[in-house]
Amino acid sequence: MIRKLILVPCTLFPVIFCMAQPDRWQQRVKYTMNVDVNVQTNRFTGKQKLEYWNNSPDTLSRVFYHLYWNAFQPNSMMDNRSRRQGSIVLRQGRNGNDIVDWDQRVRDRIQNLKPEEYGYQKIFSLKMNGRPQKLKTEETILVVELDKPIPPRSRATFEMDFESQVPLQIRRSGRDNPTSKVRYSMSQWYPKMCEYDYEGWHPTPYVAREFYGVWGDFDVTISIDKTYMLAATGYLQNPNQIGYGYESKGTSVSRPSGTKLTWHFIAPNVHDFVWAADPEYVHVSRKLKDSLTVHVFYKPTNATAQQWEALLDMAEKALPFIEKTFGPYPYKQYSFIHGGDGGMEYPMATLIIGPGAAIHEWMHSWYYGLLGTNESMYPWMDEGFTQYAEERVTAFLNNSTTFPYQDEYAGYFNLARSSKEEPLTTHADHYNTNFAYGSAVYSKGAVFMEQLGYVVGEQVRDKILLEYYKLWRYKHPNAQDFMNIAEKVSGMKLDWYKEFWINSTKTIDYAIDSLWEENGKTNIRIKDMGLIPMPIDLQLTFKDSTKELHYVPLDLMYGTKPAETDSVSRKVYDPWQWTSATYTIQTSRKLTDIIVAEIDPSQRMADIERKNNRLELKW
The answer to whether the beta carbons of residues 589 and 522 sit under 8 Å apart is: yes
The single-letter DSSP state of residue 114 is -
The answer to whether the beta carbons of residues 376 and 340 sit under 8 Å apart is: no
Binding letters toward Zn ion, positions 333-372, x by CB under 5 A: ----------------------------------------
Residue placing its CB nearer to Zn ion in the complex, 383 or 607: 383
Burial of 81 (0-12, 13-18, 19+ CB in 10 A): buried
CB of 74 to Zn ion, least distance (A): 28
CB of 426 to Zn ion, least distance (A): 17
Residue placing its CB nearer to Zn ion in the complex, 37 or 389: 389
Binding letters toward Zn ion, positions 15-54, x by CB under 5 A: ----------------------------------------
The answer to whether the beta carbons of residues 333 and 294 sit under 8 Å apart is: yes
Coil vs helix vs strand at 117: helix
Residue placing its CB nearer to Zn ion in the complex, 180 or 386: 386
Binding letters toward Zn ion, positions 385-424, x by CB under 5 A: -x--------------------------------------
Q: How far apart are CA 533 and CA 451, in angstroms?
A: 13
Residues 308-337 that bind Zn ion (CB under 5 A): none
Residue placing its CB nearer to Zn ion in the complex, 386 or 426: 386
The answer to whether the beta carbons of residues 78 and 208 sit under 8 Å apart is: yes
Output phi, psi for 578, to 5 deg.
Answer: -65, -20
Query: 519 CB contacts (<8 Å, ≥6 apart)?
Result: none
Q: How far apart are CA 116 and CA 400, in angstroms?
A: 49
Query: 610 CB contacts (<8 Å, ≥6 apart)?
Result: 603
CB of 530 to Zn ion, least distance (A): 29
The answer to whether the beta carbons of residues 100 and 87 sit under 8 Å apart is: yes
Cβ atoms < 10 Å from Cβ of 138: 13
Residues 185-214 that bind Zn ion (CB under 5 A): none
Coil vs helix vs strand at 171: coil
**14: cis peptide before it, omega within 30°?**
yes
Pairing of strands 614-616, 594-599: antiparallel
Residue placing its CB nearer to Zn ion in the complex, 233 or 507: 233
The single-letter DSSP state of residue 425 is T
CB of 472 to Zn ion, least distance (A): 19
Residue 499's alpha-carbon distances to 416, 503, 506, 531, 556, in angstroms, are 17, 5, 10, 12, 12
CB of 364 to Zn ion, least distance (A): 5
Nearest CA among 466, 463, 450 for reference residue 490: 463
Residues 373-392 that bind Zn ion (CB under 5 A): 383, 386
Q: How far apart are CA 323 and CA 225, in angstroms?
A: 39
Residue placing its CB nearer to Zn ion in the complex, 196 or 367: 367
Residue placing its CB nearer to Zn ion in the complex, 386 or 484: 386
CB of 383 to Zn ion, least distance (A): 5
Cβ atoms < 10 Å from Cβ of 251: 11
Alpha-helical (H) ranges within 355-403 are: 358-364, 379, 385-397
Residue placing its CB nearer to Zn ion in the complex, 383 or 487: 383
CB of 386 to Zn ion, least distance (A): 5
Q: How far apart are CA 352 and CA 271, in angstroms?
A: 20
Residue placing its CB nearer to Zn ion in the complex, 360 or 475: 360
CB of 432 to Zn ion, least distance (A): 21
The answer to whether the beta carbons of residues 26 and 475 sit under 8 Å apart is: yes
Query: 87 CB contacts (<8 Å, ≥6 apart)?
Result: 100
Q: How far apart are CA 374 and CA 346, in angstroms?
A: 15
C-alpha triplet 439, 444, 449: angle, nearest 5°: 145
Query: 418 CB contacts (<8 Å, ≥6 apart)?
Result: 435, 436, 439
Residue placing its CB nearer to Zn ion in the complex, 341 or 383: 383
Residue placing its CB nearer to Zn ion in the complex, 171 or 488: 171
CB of 367 to Zn ion, least distance (A): 8
Nearest CA among 42, 47, 351, 69 for reference residue 225: 42
Residue placing its CB nearer to Zn ion in the complex, 31 or 211: 211
Residue placing its CB nearer to Zn ion in the complex, 445 or 453: 445
CB of 188 to Zn ion, least distance (A): 16
CB of 343 to Zn ion, least distance (A): 7
Nearest CA among 368, 405, 612, 395 for reference residue 509: 612
Q: How far apart are CA 382 and CA 539, in angstroms?
A: 34
* Residues shown for the chain: 619
CB of 596 to Zn ion, least distance (A): 38
The answer to whether the beta carbons of residues 467 and 489 sit under 8 Å apart is: yes
CB of 602 to Zn ion, least distance (A): 26
Residue placing its CB nearer to Zn ion in the complex, 365 or 386: 386
- Contacts with Zn ion by CB under 5 A: the residue count is 2
CB of 345 to Zn ion, least distance (A): 6
CB of 405 to Zn ion, least distance (A): 16
Residue placing its CB nearer to Zn ion in the complex, 385 or 576: 385
Contacting positions for Zn ion (CB under 5 A): 383, 386
